[in-house]
Amino acid sequence: MAATPEKPAPATPRRKAGRHRGEGQWAAGHFTPLNGNEQFKKDDDGLNVRTRIETIYSKRGFDSIDPNDLRGRMRWWGLYTQRKPGIDGGKTAILEPEELDDEYFMLRVRIDGGRLTTEQLRVIGEISVEFARGTADITDRQNVQYHWIRIEDVPEIWRRLEAVGLSTTEACGDTPRTILGSPVAGVAEDEIIDGTTAIDEIHRRFIGNPDYSNLPRKFKTAISGSPQLDVAHEINDIAFVGVNHPEHGPGFDLWVGGGLSTNPKLGQRLGAWVPLDEVPDVYGGVIGIFRDYGYRRLRTRARLKFLLADWGTEKFRQILEDEYLERKLVDGPAPEQPAGTWRDHLGVHRQKDGRFYVGFAPRVGRVDGPQLVKIAEVAAAHGSDRLRTTTEQKMIVLDVEESQVPSLIAGLEALDLKVNASPFRRGTMACTGIEFCKLAIVETKARGASLIDELERRIPDFDEPITININGCPNACARIQVADIGLKGQLMLDKDGNQVEGFQVHLGGALGLEAGFGRKVRGLKVTSDDLPDYVERVLGRFQKEREDGER
């Protein structure tokens, strides 16, 4: 494979990196790759793999794929090999990657801002039926994920997605990932500011742009002007959160350096207020800092949060202003505590134009192709052309006339998509888990769905907002650290000494202005089979012993 030229140094001279010269920072002149990932990114831009997929791999089949493309660059187009069926979680850490690789792929469709038309949703559903054995999951980053994708079908899938304005570009990889946006942007009555134009401009300037396609690691973005703080902004590398400035009016409060997984950190405010039309420039500055100064030696220290931890917010803001924006940012206020307790927009809500939006819940984000096609049909039959996905693995139909609402609800609930959902269906999320994920140790999606059903049966009167997030391994795809009850998959011994699937329990995490990580109680583990009993006990005790206003 042809090697690309050495990545040029940034046009503007950057300051020397001081004590972190050994971290592989480009700004300090360190362009020699210090690990295998940096090497394959230097050898060839991940974006270039598309041509090979179209001209070689899709024609010659799975075995023709270069290993560095298979386990590296294909992510730049949203493709990961999925786990070979039948390999138990005990083998995850033991087997070589090629032993875990199936010849089928997970394919992620990026849906920036969670915005879909009914036509786009119909096409997503049809692709699922035709090429993905009916699979489709709504993720907690507003994307859709397929499974069982054959490399032979990928060019045709791209053709169909792109024909309706969707793509898989940089849906994975060390890239600017899908831009989260308020699912009710532009329609919510209580909206402070609509960030949609900024999302579109960031997409236009930065996504699929080779200047930003080799970042130290993934770069996650969230933009919301909703007072509900509805995009989990605290755990993104960069976030713009709607605020009213006392002098300048509506704009965004700038956050940087959030991220879960290894060494979880909540994002920090830089104390800067950014008007809507300057959001893309500020985004460009922060992603530029990450590209140039981000650590590239250890993958476990490569996210922006590690640079921020070393620099602090003051230095970060100063470098952003002096070296990237070449002007000062305006100081600004912090967002206020959200008015509501749920951020998922479920149920029926009046829009600012007098029509209504209707949020509904599948179980743990799991839908399927035929269901997606039907959702598109039901929405269209009730006069809507627009839907949104949420960061809670839920969906919303927009622009419904009041007279159509009851019939729309009936249509959705006939598909087992609850508008009036129990707290358990609203609040439970699960990652992909052992069914398809090569890093997984335990099953998650089916476990989460059955937990919801079981809790609805056992404690039907429970009426508190609750979040129960289930991960299949120590990673954080389902945000376990910021859930009321976070469940981290692991193997454990049951009372008879047999090795079984189970979870390490984290309790008391939250997002919002009281954001914090749940506490991992030493020895607090529960087997998968005992999970409903355990959660029922915790919630029963909470109901009995809570004080006024206690979460």
C-beta closer to ligand SF4: residue 168 or 224: 168
C-beta closer to ligand SF4: residue 89 or 195: 89
C-beta closer to ligand SF4: residue 184 or 511: 511
Residue 64 backbone phi and psi in degrees, to 5: -85, -5
Q: How far is the CB of 283 from ligand SF4 (least distance, A)?
A: 26
Q: How far is the CB of 366 from ligand SF4 (least distance, A)?
A: 13
Pick from 53, 292, 40, 20: nearest CA to 150? 53
C-beta closer to ligand SF4: residue 14 or 438: 438
Pick from 280, 273, 294: nearest CA to 219? 294
Q: How far is the CB of 115 from ligand SF4 (least distance, A)?
A: 24
CA angle 464, 239, 549 (to 5 degrees): 20
Tell me how far CA of residue 440 lies from CA of 68, 82, 138, 530, in angstroms.
Answer: 22, 11, 18, 20
541: left (phi over 0), alpha (psi -120 to 50) or beta: alpha
Q: How far is the CB of 222 from ligand SF4 (least distance, A)?
A: 19
Q: Say how far residue 490 (Cα) sits from the centre of its chain.
A: 22
Tell me how far CA of residue 379 lies from CA of 197, 425, 475, 484, in angstroms.
Answer: 25, 21, 36, 33
Q: How far is the CB of 108 from ligand SF4 (least distance, A)?
A: 12
3-state class (DSSP) for residue 290: helix
149 touches 104 (CB < 8 A): yes
Q: How far is the CB of 446 from ligand SF4 (least distance, A)?
A: 13
Q: How far is the CB of 218 from ligand SF4 (least distance, A)?
A: 13
C-beta closer to ligand SF4: residue 224 or 236: 236
C-beta closer to ligand SF4: residue 117 or 471: 471
Write out the H or E segment, with its range, that includes residue 540.
Answer: helix 531-545
C-beta closer to ligand SF4: residue 325 or 442: 442
Q: How far is the CB of 477 from ligand SF4 (least distance, A)?
A: 3
C-alpha span between 533 and 495 (Å, rounded): 15
Q: How far is the CB of 452 from ligand SF4 (least distance, A)?
A: 18
User: Dihedral sign, CA of 24, 27, 31, 32?
Assistant: negative
C-beta closer to ligand SF4: residue 440 or 531: 440
C-beta closer to ligand SF4: residue 2 or 94: 94
How many Cβ atoms from other residues are within 10 Å of residue 414's Cβ?
A: 10
Q: Applying CB under 6 A, which residues contact ligand SF4?
A: 431-433, 437, 439-440, 471-473, 475, 477
C-alpha span between 390 and 113 (Å, rounded): 9
CB neighbour class for 163 (10 Å; exposed up to 12, middle 13-18, buried from 19) = exposed
C-beta closer to ligand SF4: residue 384 or 428: 428
C-beta closer to ligand SF4: residue 179 or 431: 431
Q: How far is the CB of 254 from ligand SF4 (least distance, A)?
A: 28
Q: How far is the CB of 300 from ligand SF4 (least distance, A)?
A: 14
365 touches 143 (CB < 8 A): no
Pick from 244, 245, 256, 259: nearest CA to 285? 256
Pick from 287, 270, 128, 272: nearest CA to 216? 287
The amino acid that residue 544 corresponds to is K
